[in-house]
Amino acid sequence: MLIRNVVILGGSGFVGRHLARVLAERGIEVTVPSRNRERAKEQLIVLPTVNVVDANIHADGVLEALVAGADAVVNLVGILHESRRGDFDRVHAELPQRVVAACQRAGVERLVHMSALCADAQAPSRYLRSRAQGEASVMRAHASGAVTATAFRPSVIFGQGDSFLGLFARMLRFMPIVPLGSPGAKFQPVWVDDVARAFADALGDPASFGQRYELCGPKVYTLRELVELAGKASGYRRRIVGLGKTMSYLQALAMEFSPLTVLTRDNLRSMSVDNVCGCGWPEIFAFKPSVLEAISPTYLMASTRRYDIFRARARR
Ligand SMILES: NC(=O)c1ccc[n+]([C@@H]2O[C@H](COP(=O)([O-])OP(=O)(O)OC[C@H]3O[C@@H](n4cnc5c(N)ncnc54)[C@H](OP(=O)(O)O)[C@@H]3O)[C@@H](O)[C@H]2O)c1
């Protein structure tokens, strides 16, 4: 299938920015709607074939107008925390249905959908259950012939600009001791460039139509190991104190009331399931996923040092 122009919903985020770059490198025209065009433009404006537009994709008729004329739509919209009860359902379960309907009405055949590893109707967290609903409705739409869909289910994604290792590294800068909830939770992190490449390769490849792909890196880590690794890569090695179940719960509860929500009780419930792939890297993608230790120092050191420079300039 020939793909010349793509609309990336959620394209202003961490994964979206990397995907937009990979598509631009392939000469594909990209449209990225955002609720905050000025902020989104900062990162995307340098890419030659990328157009950022102001759009509220929840408003009536906006999605349909946005996707009209596109060869494909990629839906990356997602949230980790709810500002209001019901946000997970609106964003992860209802929006994908509205995207399918908009594609159908506008005559867009191809839809690539971002889900999450461990998304399941019986999962312990509302995040994972809402993800399962969205993924299921997209794959049902494929089965009924409404769209030609592919779904991706990655473990946690790392890379330049991530809110995972990058966040740990920035926090370690200010914390002499780290009280860590759910230290034994397991992840199999995958590099954002590998995720972006898999999405880009799948877009026009008929072999990926109707498929769901789990995306994981080559190695499984505990949360404790990942925080240690972020400390090593950023140059801020700290003592980590693993919290038991009750203290992890209380920590997450306390964080829900802080202005900067890093972790919620729902996130803890997601972490009670091992976030690891049951199979290897999908053979359809003709490359192997990168190793975390090879990539993380290249961006973590730079991101934490940038903070030091800002602080030095501000004489703090
Ligand atoms: N990062 C990971 O480790 C990871 C792992 C597995 C799955 N995923 C999934 O992959 C996708 C991309 O992740 P990411 O890390 O790039 O996320 P991100 O940086 O937080 O970006 C999320 C994007 O979604 C848009 N968005 C969020 N809430 C919205 C809403 N209510 N209405 C409209 N747009 C909204 C934002 O657009 P605006 O410009 O309008 O704010 C932003 O572009 C998400 O679905 C995420 O759940 C991520």
Q: What stretches of 191-243 show up as alpha helix (H) in DSSP?
A: 192-203, 223-234
Q: What per-residue confidence (pLDDT) applies to 305?
A: 60
Q: Is 154 in the pocket of ligand 1 (CB under 6 A)?
A: yes
Spatial CB neighbours of 244, under 8 Å, sequence gap ≥ 6? none
Question: What does the pLDDT read at residue 309?
Answer: 47
Task: Name the percent of the chain lying above pLDDT 90.
Answer: 83
Of 73-82, 228-237, 244-253, least confident by mean pLDDT is: 228-237
Cβ–ligand 1 contact at 34 (below 6 Å) = yes
Residue 279: strand, helix, or coil: coil
Structure confidence by residue, pLDDT tens digits, 125-139 = 999 999 999 999 999
Between these two residues, 285 and 313, which has the higher pLDDT value? 285
* Overall average pLDDT of the 246-271 stretch: 93
> Mean pLDDT over residues 240-263, rounded?
93
Closest residue by Cα to atom 20, ligand 1, is: 13
On the question of pLDDT at 98 being above 90, the answer is: yes
Beta bridge partners of residue 177, listed in sequence order: 239
Amino acid at 148: T
Residue 19 has pLDDT above 60, yes or no: yes
Ligand 1 site-directed mutation target among 50, 66, 157, most atoms within 8 Å of CB: 157
The reported pTM is 0.95
Taking CA atoms only, the protein residue closest to ligand 1 atom 31 is 91
Give the mean pLDDT of 103-130: 98
Three-state secondary-structure class, residue 69: coil
Higher per-residue pLDDT: 46 or 225: 225
Q: If you take atom 12 of ligand 1, which residue's CA is the nearest one? A: 76
180 CA to centre of ligand 1 in angstroms: 25
Closest to 133 (Cα-Cα) out of 76, 95, 84, 85? 95
Cα 207 from chain centre = 24
Q: From the CA of 28, how far away is ligand 1's center (Å)?
A: 21
Q: Does residue 178 line the site of ligand 1, with CB under 6 A? A: no
Q: Which atom, in ligand 1's list, is nearest to the CA of 80? A: 47
Residue 145 CA to ligand 1 centre (angstroms): 27
Domains by residue range for the chain, with CATH? 5-161+189-215 (3.40.50.720)
Does residue 231 surpass a pLDDT of 60?
A: yes
Query: What confidence tens digit (pLDDT) does each residue in 64-87 have?
Result: 999 999 999 999 999 999 988 899
258 CB neighbour count, 10 Å cutoff: 9
